[in-house]
Amino acid sequence: MNYQQASKILVTGGAGFLGSHLCERLLAAGSDVLCVDNFYTGSKSNVAHLMSDQRFEVMRHDVTLPLHVEVDKIFNLACPASPIHYQFDPVQTTKTSVHGAINMLGLAKRVGAKILQASTSEVYGDPEVHPQPEGYWGRVNPVGIRSCYDEGKRCAETLFFDYKRQHNLDIKVVRIFNTYGPRMHPNDGRVVSNFIVQALKNENITIYGDGSQTRSFCYVDDLIEVILRTMDTPSEFTGPVNIGNPGEFTMLELAEMVLRLTGGKSKVIHEPLPQDDPRQRKPDISLAKAVMGWEPKISLEDGLKETIAYFRGVVKT
């Protein structure tokens, strides 16, 4: 990938978990990077190591407000992505997805930038089709406690494709499945960070439901690689394209692996399943393989080792 031709790349949500890794990769490729974040879930500490690079700039800004900058490419990652954070202020979550998409698409239209939307596997809801291909329209509760995120992201996809049809904008849409790795927020309520933090503190590991529900887990380095490859595809390719690791694990299997790798002595306890929690989630990545020649390389065990090492440095035990 050659990003040296681009004078400036905008990453919204650039101080978040995924955004900070993306900024790092773009800088390594020789790009000028403008990181925009309102620091609701993002953290300055995630990008502190990049601040000495003259090609890196941070701007505190909320994407629900218009932004006037000159850029060549836009990666729109801004939105809280964990249930704890996006349900805390659900109206603002919807605004971030919908108004944020409108503002970033408007910016892309004004400056002629190529723009990529970080969508989510949540657009599939609690799926009736398994694994989930891009052609599956999903099974989403439009009035549930997760709807602010699920429907906000679905509406953002609608906006992207309408801007493509109406204004011939160069768009890309990726649907991100569960991703984990260093710089995850310790209190984001996601299952990987929850289990690791609980194991390191020798607290009970909390599994919701009977633990038979499944997820697929993609290590952050693999995910950033396919995001970059997607942005580099010809304009004819828009997506949406699933990106994630098709390896499927039950919550019990994940808990057992985390306990083994941490050496923790925690007990596993069970709590009631939250409303609208999907029973299973696994991407069909045939399209990503065919178009981008990509598939994940890092195993769950190897990725967890890196993630646990990171959390040992940030979690007080």
- For the annotated catalytic residues, the residue numbers are 149
Neighbours of 210 (CB within 10 A): 11
Give me the DSSP letters along 250-313. Answer: EHHHHHHHHHHHHT--PPEEEEPPPTT--S---B--HHHHHHH-----S-HHHHHHHHHHHHHH
How far, in Å, CA of 121 to CA of 132, rounded? 9
Burial of 151 (0-12, 13-18, 19+ CB in 10 A): buried
Q: Are 290 and 300 in contact (CB under 8 A)?
A: no
Among the listed residues 124, 100, 90, 120, the one whose alpha carbon sits nearest the alpha carbon of residue 37: 100
* Residue 215 host element (H or E): strand 214-216
